[in-house]
Amino acid sequence: MVAVRANLDLAKRYVAEKVLREAFNYMEKNPEENFPRLLHVARMLARKEVHKQQIAKVLEAYRQNPSIHAYVNRLFNLHPNVKQRLIYNWFVNAMLLGIPRQQQVEKETGVHIPNFFLLDPTSDCNLRCHGCWAGEYAHHDSLELDLVDRLCREAKEVGIYWLAMSGGEPFRWPHLFELAERHPDMAFMLYTNGTLIDDAVADRLVEVGNITPAISLEGWRERTDARRGKGVFDRVMKAMDALRERGLVFGVSITITRENVEEVTSDAFIDFLLEKGVVYGWSFHYIPIGREPKPELMITPEQRAYLVERVAYIRNHKGLQLADFWNDGELTLGCIAGGRRYFHITASGAVEPCAFIHFSLENIKEKSLMEVLQSPLFRAYQQRQPFSDNLLRPCPLIDVPGALREIIAATGARPTHPGAETALSGPIGAYLDTNAARWAEVADRIWQERHPVEAEKELTAGK
């Protein structure tokens, strides 16, 4: 009976994948008319009502928002191999087919399956950026190709087709392109400093088709070079030109500090990124962890409130899909870490709940993917999520630091490098507590303005 059900599921996936691939290929000929048809097919194949509603919202945005409309059409003016590998793998395999598979596995096993994970294949890096979040990990760690290959195979078995990589510098890992070739049905996204992307690397990216770099910038030349080293900005610009000229998809990764918050979100800078060919962006609020942590670089509550409105404006009016991990809690329904939507594997194999929370109980060298997903550390996270009813306060590190202390104490999770524990106590821990309290006052006002009915119910219940 089990074998019959497995064969039936395989047949269903084959039919669904065939239908979607044909619809996807058909759309390339005229995305203006055929993208809505692809979404219609996707909506019919979606199993959960919430996913049907999300697809309907995408269709509405495509039809009514000129920036979103232009953004989607832009994705189909890329190199053919990139469209067939990267876009298809992310949109169809990772989202439309992968998520239902994740839900099926969770139903059958009771183990929650995230949407993706972040992997550091190597801790080796050619730069030494000030305040690097990974700067205190050992600098000589590297994962073997066979181990990462095994992880990818195990990931696909449970419906994960999206793997993000960081480091160190992922382009320093010698097995990168071989891994991508071994798994042509997966989408790989790399957080990279961009300085190792030359014409030869760009050509290889076209050949494999399923890798997209997210290149780090701190703002304009002066700001970027001040943190990353003289000449880095110009090298990044050359890399972006090489990627754009070949029709590759690439993004930008921005660490937002108290000093650059307005610079990196200005019209001039966003327009510049679009002209260079940037398709997406990740923004990270500076967190005082890693190399030489400086709490005074954290953005103020007022600056964070500015970002709540500004990032939404950029997404809706500039045509750049920019994520804001700490302010997008309302979209993600809270913290995504701890295996809920993602988790982090270091170059030593340590399994962390988040790239910014350097504590662990498991090592992927010793256990399978399914085994580490059952970690007591992950269960402790998921039992407490969301960490606040106000989803503008999603993070247990900077928004509800007491929750993180409770999790670490309850599970006995160990620091993954010397100094990681300073985020829980001492001057940095005290600073995070104070900052969290200040942001709570501002965030609660914003939340009440956005959700007056819910706020009134909570007030009434409190009385």
- Give 278-314 pLDDT, tens digit per residue: 999 999 999 999 888 899 999 999 999 999 999 999 9
CA 102 – CA 33 distance, rounded (Å): 31
Greater model confidence, 79 or 46: 79
Tokens of 44: 């019919």
What's the average model confidence in pLDDT over 402-409?
Answer: 97
What's the average model confidence in pLDDT over 450-456?
Answer: 70
Work out the pLDDT band at 119, boundaries 50, 70, 90. Answer: very high
CA 390 – CA 231 distance, rounded (Å): 42
Q: What is the pLDDT of residue 255?
A: 96
Could you count the other beta carbons within 10 Å of the beta carbon of residue 107? 8
31-35, 108-112, 245-249, 375-379, range with the lowest pLDDT: 31-35
CA dihedral 69, 72, 77, 79 (to 10 degrees): 180
Q: What are the residues facing 351 on neighbouring strands? A: 345, 362
- Superfamily name and number for 99-372: Aldolase class I (3.20.20.70)
113 in Cβ contact with 160 (< 8 Å) = yes
CA 238 – CA 89 distance, rounded (Å): 27
Tokens of 412: 């006995």
Single-letter amino acid code for the residue at 389: D
Work out the pLDDT band at 68, boundaries 50, 70, 90. Answer: confident
Greater model confidence, 325 or 394: 394
State whether the Cα torsion 268-300-296-325 is positive or negative.
negative
What's the average model confidence in pLDDT over 265-278?
Answer: 97
Q: What is the pLDDT of residue 195?
A: 97
What's the average model confidence in pLDDT over 370-395?
Answer: 97
Tokens of 195: 């300085």
Q: Phi, psi at residue 329, to the nearest 5°?
A: -60, -30
Beta strands per DSSP E along 207-258:
211-217, 251-256
